[in-house]
Amino acid sequence: MNIFLVRHGETEWNSLGRFQGQVDVTLNSRGIGQSLDIAKASFTWSLGAIYTSPLIRTMQVAEEIGRQIGLPVISDDRLMELSLGELEGITGLEMRTNWAEVYDNWRNNPGHTVLPGGESLSQLQKRGWDFLVEKEKEHQQDSAILFVSHNFTIRCIISYLLGMPWSHFHQTYLDLSSVCLIETDGNTRRLKSYNSTSHISYQNLSVTHG
């Protein structure tokens, strides 16, 4: 079975470089175009189910895919982005200036740094991986399923799959509207593709990320 992991498209906060965790921000016009590109690509994926974070920017992508291929969309909180707490909506410069100690901890020990009022990447990784294993068991007879989720959520799942130490986490990167692909037989899991954006048309490519 194939498990596709899709990151949502661009929002205004992405274009402005603002941190975006569990706050609800809609896709901008480019992000909507990206969701259409993803939906077109999904025709070849033989999907049996669509799961999504309940945040609006992921719901918009999942619902467009569902409309195109005729599948219902199921939301689950375990696919939500990292809870950033007090850091929602700030920029990287603001974090380095006003939360210097948190920033240093985040850079040096990202997996176990609990963001003020939020959660840690370790907590996020557990809920994300538990979700994958649960759905893997439920859909053994399907050819493929899809998760529409977020930057940190997908990177945490992939990091767990690869046995990557937290010290390497900041060396990974994930584009907006990218697709990752995990192949599984229920026992062995392999990463077949990471951060693919070949499905995005030229006019919908993002010039900024976040």
Name the pairing type of β-strands 73-75 and 47-52.
parallel
3-state DSSP call for residue 92? helix
3-state DSSP call for residue 144? strand
Indicate the burial class of 87 (C-beta count within 10 angstroms; 0-12, 13-18, 19 or more): buried
Residue 8 a catalytic site member: yes
Given the residues 10, 63, 64, 81, select the one marked as catalytic: 81
Nearest by Cα to 206 from 7, 1, 9, 8: 9
Beta-carbon contacts of 187 under 8 Å, excluding residues fewer than 6 positions away, are: none
Name residue, tokens 């909506």.
Answer: 89
Helix (H) or strand (E) holding 180: strand 179-184
Given the residues 8, 10, 63, 199, select the one marked as catalytic: 8
Residue 136 a catalytic site member: no
Active site residues: 8, 81
